[in-house]
Amino acid sequence: DGGITQSPKYLFRKEGQNVTLSCEQNLNHDAMYWYRQDPGQGLRLIYYSQIVNDFQKGDIAEGYSVSREKKESFPLTVTSAQKNPTAFYLCASSIRIGGFGYGYTFGSGTRLTVV
Amino acid sequence: QKEVEQDPGPLSVPEGAIVSLNCTYSNSAFQYFMWYRQYSRKGPELLMYTYSSGNKEDGRFTAQVDKSSKYISLFIRDSQPSDSATYLCAMSSNDYKLSFGAGTTVTVRA
């Protein structure tokens, strides 16, 4: 079955540590996204990528980094510069036809907690 | 002011009731409108997709868009306990990026 796989489901980070969240899709979608979800704030865009080897900052990119070396993969690194990383992280992908992405397909998310 | 405003609720209704959800927005360039459903600790899933103004119906779900008022709605008829979830509105102009509302948490009581 086609879909998006995020791993791990739960992740614990110590202060000052970098961690990487994995996102893999087998939908042959061109675009991929990372969102952060906090209670009462909805989804906020961290980074997005429209094609391989290209990505753009979203609204809250500080303290995060990404890479897009393969169409299927879009890993997110939460660096020690991110001061409040505890959140639910969602990866998504979309296909673009006629100039618009027809909605997103989301992964099941990774819950990151700082300990 | 947020680009997309959505009342977070929570909203609690008895089984069989009509659930009414809505969002307002400020960007007049938005022309693609979506509703997502998110169960606890899961990723959102696309429920309804609407282009421009008008109504769209899919089973028990009806989505309405009023671009003149910058207002969109989702109605759930004959609500079931399995409809208990957080509902997120999302919208976009003509590029890849979606702008999301904060989500409304709905509980349908059996």
More confident residue, A5 or B54: A5
User: Per-residue pLDDT for A20 more than 90?
Assistant: yes
Closest CA to A9 of A92, A115, A112: A112
B83/A contact by beta carbon, under 8 A: no
B34 to chain A, any CB pair closer than 8 A? The answer is yes
Chain B residue closest to A105 (CA)? Answer: B45
Query: Is A2 in the B-facing interface, judged by CB distances under 8 Å?
Result: no
Interface membership of B40 toward A (CB under 8 Å): no
* Phi/psi at A56 (5° precision): -130, 150
Task: Give residue B98's pLDDT band: very low, low, confident or very high (50, 70, 90).
Answer: confident
* Mean pLDDT for chain B overall: 92
Give A35-80 pLDDT, tens digit per residue: 999 987 789 999 999 889 999 999 999 999 999 999 999 999 999 8
A113 pLDDT above the threshold of 70: yes
Tell me phi and psi for residue A14, to 5 degrees. Answer: -85, 160
**Cβ(A63)–Cβ(A1) below 8 Å:** no
Q: Give the pLDDT score at A27.
A: 92
Which among A8, A4, A3 has a CA at the least distance from the CA of A88?
Answer: A8
Could you check whether the bond before residue A75 is cis, i.e. omega within 30 degrees of 0?
Answer: no
pLDDT tens for A28-47 read 998 899 999 998 778 999 99
Q: How confident is the model at residue A1 (pLDDT cuts 50, 70, 90)?
A: low
Query: What separation, in Å, do the N-terminal and C-terminal C-alpha atoms of chain B show?
Result: 37
Query: Chain A contacts of B49, Cβ < 8 Å?
Result: 102-103
In this prediction, residue A18 carries a pLDDT of 93
pLDDT number for residue A24: 98
pLDDT given for residue A72 in this prediction: 97
Q: Which residues of chain A from 29 to 68 reach within 8 Å of chain B, CB to CB? A: 31, 33, 35, 40-43, 45, 48, 50, 58
User: Percent of chain B having pLDDT more than 90?
Assistant: 76
pLDDT at B52: 79
Token pair, residue A29, equals: 């979608």
Q: How far is Cα B25 from Cα B105, in angstroms, rounded to an integer?
A: 19
Q: Do B96 and A43 touch (CB under 8 A)?
A: no
Q: What CA–CA distance (Å, rounded) separates A60 from B46?
A: 24
Residues of A in contact with B6 (CB under 8 A): 42
pLDDT in tens, B27-61: 999 988 999 999 998 999 999 988 878 899 999 99
Looking at residue B95, what is its pLDDT?
61
Quick check: A42 and B88 CB within 8 A? yes
The closest alpha carbon to A23, from A70, A85, A79, belongs to A70
